[in-house]
Structure 1
């Protein structure tokens, strides 16, 4: 098991490990959950995602964390702070991706709010962003619920992406 990073009323966030492939496949193999990503991912691509995340932990001290239900330990999704390039500089993004069976319960907002607090209080970040697809209204709503405002639209990952941001 990965190290627990933070907890909220209902959630525990921990570091991702190579044992999370099956958990993540529940999201990555779902075309609906992956609608705003280039495509679904197979096991090999999921392993690459985990390696990318573990490298982010090493290089930046942050990355996507596994979100579990605090009481049951059930896998709910991933949420964390991820370095992203925006207009030539590295910004810290709150990213979130949850299994479809858990949508609509407020878990993404709860996890994202905890990551925002962690970013400002523990990491002393000056600014945090979120990068939802321009058409991904539910994802944009999470950014808005944690106090972020739209700054601009950029072209990234071959599509139009909103840049939401909040400063400390």
Structure 2
């Protein structure tokens, strides 16, 4: 395993992101279809802030969003990991995932999120994990359900109807 590798799945390597990943992230952030369930696409400056936020999360929480690459080619396919979020005034640890559109529908989000869930329990000791999903994001809801999460409540986050999915160890 490479130095920055966090974990491996059958088809993926998940590694820490760094400033050289800006172009990779822009494959997602600049795609209006990939970003349709977010408030907007993101700029390069947003991507740099995103990377720096994740680097801080690695230091503070030993987790963050990690770069997902195909094991056999090293091709960037997305990001998945565990990040802190505030939900109704409480800090929660969220499994998040966002993939390049060309790789949708191939099970990569489920494969990565499942591995990340297990990592959160076994390596980081969390007994509860959530996913915050925009109410109309059916593909993300399906991923959450496939990794064993169930809908806990609906709330508003950034003035958008958001479903909170959760799972307990």
Q: Does the CA-based 8 Å contact 1:2-1:16 persist in structure 2? A: no
Structural mapping, 1:6-155, within 5 Å: 6-155=7-156
| Structure 2: stretches of 5+ with no match in the other structure | none
Deviations for 1:34-82, whole angstroms, at most 9, x for unmatched residues? Answer: 0011111111111011111111111111100000001110000000001
TM-score, normalisation: structure 1: 0.98
Deviations for 1:69-112, whole angstroms, at most 9, x for unmatched residues? Answer: 01110000000001111121111100000000000000000000
| Structure 1: stretches of 5+ with no match in the other structure | none
TM-score, normalisation: structure 2: 0.97
CA distance in 1, matches of 2:167, 2:45: 35
Stretch of structure 1 that moved more, 73-82 or 85-94? 85-94
Shift of 1:157: 2.1
Q: Does the CA-based 8 Å contact 1:2-1:15 persist in structure 2? A: no
Q: How many residue pairs end up in the alignment?
A: 168
Counterpart in 2 of 1:167?
168
Give the direction of change, closer, same or farther, for the CA distance of 1:14–1:150 in structure 2 (3 Å limit): same
CA distance in 1, matches of 2:158, 2:76: 27
Give the direction of change, closer, same or farther, for the CA distance of 1:161–1:2 in structure 2 (3 Å limit): farther
RMSD: 1.0
The SS at the match of 2:133 is coil
Deviations for 1:116-145, whole angstroms, at most 9, x for unmatched residues? Answer: 000111111010001111000000000000
